[in-house]
Amino acid sequence: LDKIYRMMDKLDHKAIQRLKEITYQNTLNLLGGKISVIFYDVTTLYFESFDSDELKKCGFSKDSKHNQPQVLLALMVTAEGLPLDYEVFPGNIYEGKTLIPALEKISQKYNIEEVILVADSAMLSEDNILKLDSLKEKNISYIVGARLKSLPAVLKKKILDPENYPELEPGYLVACFNHKGKKLVVSYSSRRAKKDEQDRIKALEKLEAKLQKSKNPKSHLSNAGYRKYLKLEGESKIVLDEDKIALDRAWDGLLGVITNSEMSPPEILSKYSDLFTVEDSFRLTKHDLKIRPIFHWKPRRVRAHIALCFTAYVLVKHMEHRVRLQYRKLSPEKIRQALVRVQTSILFDKVKRIRYGLPSRLSHDARKIYDLLKVKKTITPYIIKKL
């Protein structure tokens, strides 16, 4: 354990920056030397500790660990899900304020010629949009999720008017609007509308059950997710508000983005729909690579821990990409299962005093993975050591 800690202490700022540069260059090489889209998202990493410092701070937690310190991890990946870079921020920073510093760092470090930034609505603020617009001259454009229900009433009326939507294909409509000089692209999907309706039905069933069991129904008014469906009758009776529910239903199936890109509306929406690649990356790092909770407390070791997890994530995603290109699509878990079965049994001959290695047979997937990575692997028994 001490050796591991000593190794982590050598992962200083210079070493981590070198790691990021190598990652970016290798990703660039895998994509033929061109990166045209960057997906950006932020998550929180909590600590098994209640002590704060300059990095570990209490803030809004996506893991519902509001009383525990955390850091913010900003991750940038390509449309293929390949990692480009990451940044670590103190845990009490609003995630929307991380976007511009992270983007400026990556554009300065790697001299990006032309790229489209894709991010969700949490990154949408007046300051961010102004700064992103100023980067247009550097050939950096953006596609950012819009909060449709927060837009001005006049614009919301237009968005909810079916007459404004030409049908691209059955069950899929797209329209463009002007919002403060920006392009607002809105789509309606019948499939998405069905899901929104099902999600609301489940939420209302859960809420009704809570209201019936609750000794203090008024307490649910403090929950924003519940409040949008409730109203107060008299002085103490809390009931479902059918008008609010109907208003919420009107937005089913609608999704909007704000952009300064010159691409066509269908292309813009297609790029935004790929944002799940970075969300999928967070699932991989959080759950499969167990990046959190973090048990280190020294800031330098916290940064080293994240750097090591990022390195593991890079290796997994690069291997997955190469396997998909040169063999067939396999998930990281399928690749892990294929490789973990590649084992060597040890046999000791007591008479000859020789220890032999007996490699297991390789599955078809494992053989292909070894071959495309140019790693030699034999199933022929061999002598490990003569005693």
Which token pair is 167? 């049908």
- pTM score, two decimals? 0.81
Q: Is the pLDDT of residue 57 over 90?
A: no
Mean pLDDT confidence for 113-136: 84
pLDDT (0 to 100) of residue 365: 97
| Strand-by-strand arrangement of the 344-349 sheet | 344-349, 354-359, 382-386
Strand partners, 174: 187
Name which of 260, 237, 238, 241 is nearest 249 in CA terms: 241
Report the range of poorest mean pLDDT among 46-55, 263-272, 331-340.
46-55
In terms of Cα–Cα distance, which of 31, 37, 183 is closest to 117? 37
Residues 69-95 have pLDDT tens digits of: 899 999 899 888 899 999 999 988 988
Rg of the chain taking only CA atoms, in angstroms = 26
Q: Is pLDDT above 90 for 125?
A: no
Q: Which pLDDT band holds residue 258 (cuts at 50, 70, 90)? A: very high
143: phi then psi, degrees, rounded to nearest 5: -135, 110
Per cent of the chain over pLDDT 90 is 50
In tens, the pLDDT along 197-252 reads: 999 999 999 888 888 887 777 777 667 777 888 888 877 788 888 999 999 999 99
Q: How confident is the model at residue 297 (pLDDT cuts 50, 70, 90)?
A: confident
pLDDT-above-70 percentage for the chain: 94
Going by C-beta distance under 8 Å and a sequence separation of 6 or more, which residues neighbour residue 327? 365, 368, 369, 372
